[in-house]
Amino acid sequence: MDKLRRVLIVDDDEAFAESNKDLLEAYGYEVFMAFDGTVGVDIARNVKPDLMILDVMMTTNTEGFDVARAVREIPELAQMAILMVTGVVDALKLPQHLKPDSNWLPVNRVLEKPIDPARLVREVEQIFEEEEADRKSVNWWKRE
């Protein structure tokens, strides 16, 4: 990892956010937190994180969905990776798991809560590895 990666956790569960902030900082990430979507978008505009870890059910049952779509409309944030970590499927008894798509759910991955800390770290690292591989494949002809 050439540069310090920035991660923004947007989740109204402060204990979840704090514990995962500590976890990711132990792996060398710079971590910011927000406890609702509006503040999360504001922080994202200011710090321009490489990844947002986003809950769904915060001030409303759909806030995370709204935040993901809003972020994709902000040019300087449109390419930011989003990892949705939520318990919405169980809480609302949805008939199936959520799947990312480019319109309704424009996120890189969706994980269900509760999530094992080791799995969260693996998923974050995978997102960054995929991003790096994509960047190299697009610029394969350039020398760094």
Query: Tokens for 57?
Result: 């059910």
Examine the pLDDT at 30 and tell me if it is beyond 70: yes
**Rounded Cα gap, residues 31 and 12, in angstroms:** 16
Query: Tokens for 86?
Result: 């939520």
For range 20-34, the mean pLDDT: 98
**Rounded Cα gap, residues 70 and 129, in angstroms:** 25
Render pLDDT for 87-143 as a digit per residue (tens, 0 to 9). 866 655 655 666 777 777 899 999 989 999 999 999 999 999 998 887 777 655 554
CATH number of 6-138: 3.40.50.2300
Q: Which residue has the tokens 């310090």?
A: 4
Examine the pLDDT at 36 and tell me if it is beyond 80: yes
**CA distances (Å), origin 74, targets 48, 78, 133, 134:** 11, 6, 24, 21
Render pLDDT for 88-102 as a digit per residue (tens, 0 to 9). 666 556 556 667 777
Render pLDDT for 50-78 as a digit per residue (tens, 0 to 9). 999 999 999 998 899 999 999 999 999 99
**CA distances (Å), origin 22, targets 26, 47, 135, 138:** 6, 18, 29, 34
Delimit the domains of the chain by residue range.
6-138
pTM above 0.85, yes or no: yes
What is the per-residue pLDDT for 106? 92
What is the per-residue pLDDT for 144? 47
Name the more confident of 100 and 4: 4
